[in-house]
Amino acid sequence: MGSNKNSPNNFFSKVLEFICKEELYEELQGDLDEEFKINVEKFGIQHAKRIYRKEVFKMMRPSVLKRLSINHTMRTPLLFHFFKISFRNLKRNFSYALLNVIGFAAALAVCLFCINAIYSNQQLDKKFSDGDRIYRVNLESKTLEGTSLSATSQIALYQKIQEALPEAENIALIQNQVMYTAAYLKGARRNLLGQGINRDFFKIFDYEMVLGSAESLFDNPKHIIITKKVMDKYYQEETVIGSSLGNYIISGVIEDPAKVSHLDFEFLHSKYEDHTGSPFYTSWKVHTMQILYIKVLPNIEATYVQEKLSQLSKEINEELNNEDEGIEYNYLLEPLDKVAQSNASLNKGALLSSDAQNMLIALMIVILIIANFNYTNLAMASAISRAKEVGIRKVLGTGKYSLVYQLLIETTILSLLGFGLALLIFKLLVPSVASFTDFNFQEHLAFDQVLLFFSFSLLTGIISGVVPGLFFSRISIMSLFRKSTGRNKLSIDFLKKGLMTTQVTVSLLVFTLGILVLSQSSLILNQTTPFSGEQLVALDLPPSDSLSIVFRTEVERLTGIESVAGTRAIPFIGSFGYYGVRKQHIDDPTHRHSAVILQADSGFLSTFSQSIEWLADKKMIKDRPYFLVNRAFATSMSDSIRRFNETTFSLGLDYYPVMGMISDLNLTDPVEAAKPAAIMITHEYPLGTLILRLNKASFARTLGEIGELYKTRYPNIDFQPVFVDDVLANRMRQFKGIVRALIFVFAAIVAITLMGQIGMAMYQAKTREKEIGVRKVLGASLRQVVQLILKSTLLQLIIAALIACPVAYLLFSELPLDFAVPLSVSTYHFAGAFLLFSLIIFTLVSSQTWKTASQNPVDSLQNE
């Protein structure tokens, strides 16, 4: 035999063998082999192989190709016949089919929204020029607590970057000290989210100006630029420029940032702190007040810039002696096209971080699996109800696959109809869903998204047609007519019951999980905070010790003021830096614990008095600073030697005791479990921020008086009071957005499974039509009939509960998050979910049975 080199291509020979009719193969392959040998001598091996390959391709013609079995059965008249039967069946069971279609369409529509949200998120920030040269500088802080990445960084970083990075063509700042400005718009007090920016902001983020110019912002410190959304809500386009908003004057209108970028604000102003500003804000410990972006010069590598930033990080850490406190700052570049998906915390706006996107994709897969299961289940049930018809056809000699094709056509028509309906639902609901959840949605879908869901619908139709079809083609004819065959476990009856129980179990599982997740969310949203923020107004004072003391004294004299507290900053806006706290009884200077500390003066006690649980006699601490700690602090700071209230703590110099507890104080993320935190009551006057408790009855008047006093003492600075209740409400804003989205998704899932239940109830009623008719004839009352049906439903529910409840519990406890108020799952949750679900199921089954039982028994006992 010749070597491999001189034989034709093995692969193509196999192809020929695969496609060629058996009776022709020997002749044709033989001829090709012989010709190959001749060609090798004439033209050489390569050319001969080329000719061979061409010959094999040209063998693809009807006279040579094997006949596929489909050709036997799928001739056109037969296909047409199948379609006719399918439409007839669908017409006969119209409501059942409709239910199936709607349930499937609902599931697809929900997934379309989810995938659209992810896609829209990825489309953000694409409009800015030179986007590939724009980066955000994130701060990675390593503390004793662990490592965290935040989108915000310290105010003082700006000057450092200016000095260290000549490669930065532009450096844009966004600052949040003046987060809200209160203004009376359309007759009510509104708080608008504003951000301070510098000139380079527009050089990096070249948003479209709807009215006015971007430069106008810097002509006058009173100028602001509002978004189109704000203009549409509160102003007229013709008169908006020059109108006032609080103490500001509107000089321009900009396109809505949340629609095109990861940024979200309602207005922009030009005031920002620099490195010489207030000592608190420029402290390196506070990193929540500023977001910094750079646009790198052309032809500079990002890696080079990152190296320089890492070098800068090192220098800053050394300068601040961070090592002593166990802190390390690292500044990391994040490219603009990744920012909208960033996992960095304090990313403003309704964005989907990549973690959230993954979770959403996982949810989508779950919904699609449930939809597919639902659909297949209902299709199977529908097929089972036609068992006798199938039996008769088999007796008459119908082919094995013709049954499969029949069901396949029916289920595929329905699933594609469902797909069409899903697209329609999406188109109609996109505007309302977008406003409900704050997320971005594109009005139209991308082609590959549509293709993906079309393929899924087709696949579902195929699976739900093939599964029952194959089942029927294999089952014996007698089993189709008998209710149950003694030995054969796979009787129709058993299958019916199995399907119904499975449907109930899946529905109950989803229902229970939904209730658990929603209970957890509502616990977090309604958690108690030690401060309600009612009647509290916070005011940042410009840095000036003497003026601050004077101002405070004057404010304290106002009749409408109930109490005044001084703090280092407005609590609950973002989070503060962590301090390395040392314990007195531990000698080792490197032994530190991390805690969030807010310094306040004794006025704090009267302003926030109700929440404090005193551990010692207040008289003891007249002039000495002390701590008021939360539960997490108490737990983490207690050790085997001393408990937290038996020792003293230091932030670097002197040691002070703990005098009281504010158990539920949470100065960090309110969604997660509270980190160790404390208020340090100090007598260090004056602290930069005043928290004023105003009398409720004279609130507006007192606020006005404070404003007047402020203008007198600080004539060049705007009076910007911050309402603490708004701040507290806003803390949860993003979480609330997520919860709303979760409610939407869960409601959809529950609705889909319940639709499956309705389908099952209808199916059950239909299949027992004759039995019900006979019972009525024998004298049973309507109530008795309904009770009989409910008895079997109860059994299904009990089996479902035994499976679904433990599974729900397991799935819920797999949630990786550490919540501020963790839900303690108890039997009450499961019992409640089970009872509510059972009530729904009983209602569904009863209503369907009632309908059937109310029919004239003559009609139901007649031949169909």
Partner 1 sequence: MKGTHLGEFQEVVLLVILSLDSNAYGVTIKQEIMNKVNRDISRGALHTALSRLEEKGFITSEQGEAHEDRGGRRKRYYTVTNTGLTALHEARSLRDELWSQIPKIKLYPGYGK
The DSSP string of 506-556 is HHHHHHHHHHHHHHHHHHHHT---S---TTEEEEEPPS-HHHHHHHHHHHH
The verdict on 64 binding partner 1 (CB under 8 A) reads yes
Measure the N-to-C terminal CA separation of the chain; round to a whole number of Å.
Answer: 72
The verdict on 31 binding partner 1 (CB under 8 A) reads yes
Task: List beta partners, residue 252.
Answer: 212, 225
How many angstroms separate the CA atoms of 216 and 223, rounded? 7
The verdict on 539 binding partner 1 (CB under 8 A) reads no
Beta carbon nearer to partner 1, 34 or 545: 34
Q: Of the candidates 14, 17, 38, 318, which one interacts with partner 1 according to CB under 8 A?
A: 38
**Min. distance of Cβ 28 from partner 1 in angstroms?**
7
How many angstroms separate the CA atoms of 648 and 636, rounded? 14
Beta carbon nearer to partner 1, 47 or 618: 47
**Min. distance of Cβ 33 from partner 1 in angstroms?**
5
Of residues 761 through 820, those in contact with partner 1 by CB under 8 A are: none
- Torsion sign, CA atoms 844, 845, 848, 854: negative
Core vs surface per residue 193-207: b (16+ CB within 10 A) or e: bbbbbbebbbbbbeb
- Both tokens of 777, joined, read 């004839």
Q: Of the candidates 17, 26, 219, 556, which one interacts with partner 1 according to CB under 8 A?
A: 26
Beta carbon nearer to partner 1, 17 or 132: 17
Total count of residues recorded for the chain: 864
Q: Of the candidates 9, 15, 24, 542, which one interacts with partner 1 according to CB under 8 A?
A: 24
The verdict on 34 binding partner 1 (CB under 8 A) reads yes
Span from 51-59, 106-114, 146-154, 552-560 in contact with partner 1 (CB under 8 A): 51-59
Q: Of the candidates 12, 48, 49, 55, which one interacts with partner 1 according to CB under 8 A?
A: 55
* Residue 346 burial (C-beta neighbours within 10 Å; 0-12, 13-18, 19+): buried
Span from 23-31, 67-75, 330-338, 562-570 in contact with partner 1 (CB under 8 A): 23-31
Residue 605 identity: L
Q: Of the candidates 9, 15, 28, 185, which one interacts with partner 1 according to CB under 8 A?
A: 28
Beta carbon nearer to partner 1, 32 or 316: 32
Beta carbon nearer to partner 1, 58 or 557: 58
Beta carbon nearer to partner 1, 31 or 639: 31
Specify the residue for token string 């009398």: 695
Residue 574 identity: G
The verdict on 59 binding partner 1 (CB under 8 A) reads yes
CB 100 within 8 A of CB 414: yes
**Min. distance of Cβ 74 from partner 1 in angstroms?**
24
Cα 859 to chain center, whole Å?
52
How many angstroms separate the CA atoms of 326 and 597, rounded? 16
How many angstroms separate the CA atoms of 573 and 569, rounded? 9
Q: Which of 799, 785, 776, 796 lies closest to 846, judged by CA?
A: 785
Q: Of the candidates 6, 11, 33, 624, which one interacts with partner 1 according to CB under 8 A?
A: 33
Beta carbon nearer to partner 1, 42 or 851: 42
CB 630 within 8 A of CB 666: yes
Residue 661 identity: M
Kindly write out the interface string for residues 142-181 of this chain, putting x where it contacts partner 1 by CB under 8 A and - elsewhere: ----------------------------------------
Span from 19-27, 561-569, 586-594, 764-772 in contact with partner 1 (CB under 8 A): 19-27
Total residues at interface with partner 1 (CB under 8 A): 21
**Min. distance of Cβ 48 from partner 1 in angstroms?**
13
The verdict on 725 binding partner 1 (CB under 8 A) reads no
The verdict on 63 binding partner 1 (CB under 8 A) reads yes
The verdict on 29 binding partner 1 (CB under 8 A) reads yes
Tell me how far CA of residue 140 lies from CA of 328, 573, 622, 731, in angstroms.
8, 20, 40, 22
Q: Return all residues near 186 (Cβ < 8 A) that are at least 6 apart.
A: 234
Beta carbon nearer to partner 1, 50 or 474: 50
Beta strands 168-175 and 188-197, pairing class = antiparallel
- Both tokens of 363, joined, read 């949810």
Task: List beta partners, residue 819.
Answer: 672
3-state secondary structure of 251: strand
**Min. distance of Cβ 66 from partner 1 in angstroms?**
14
- Both tokens of 271, joined, read 């005031």
Span from 21-29, 440-448, 621-629, 744-752 in contact with partner 1 (CB under 8 A): 21-29
Q: Of the candidates 5, 61, 489, 619, which one interacts with partner 1 according to CB under 8 A?
A: 61
Beta carbon nearer to partner 1, 60 or 428: 60
Q: Of the candidates 12, 32, 411, 746, which one interacts with partner 1 according to CB under 8 A?
A: 32
The verdict on 17 binding partner 1 (CB under 8 A) reads no
The verdict on 513 binding partner 1 (CB under 8 A) reads no
Chain contacts with partner 1 (rule: CB under 8 A): 24, 26-35, 37-38, 54-55, 58-61, 63-64
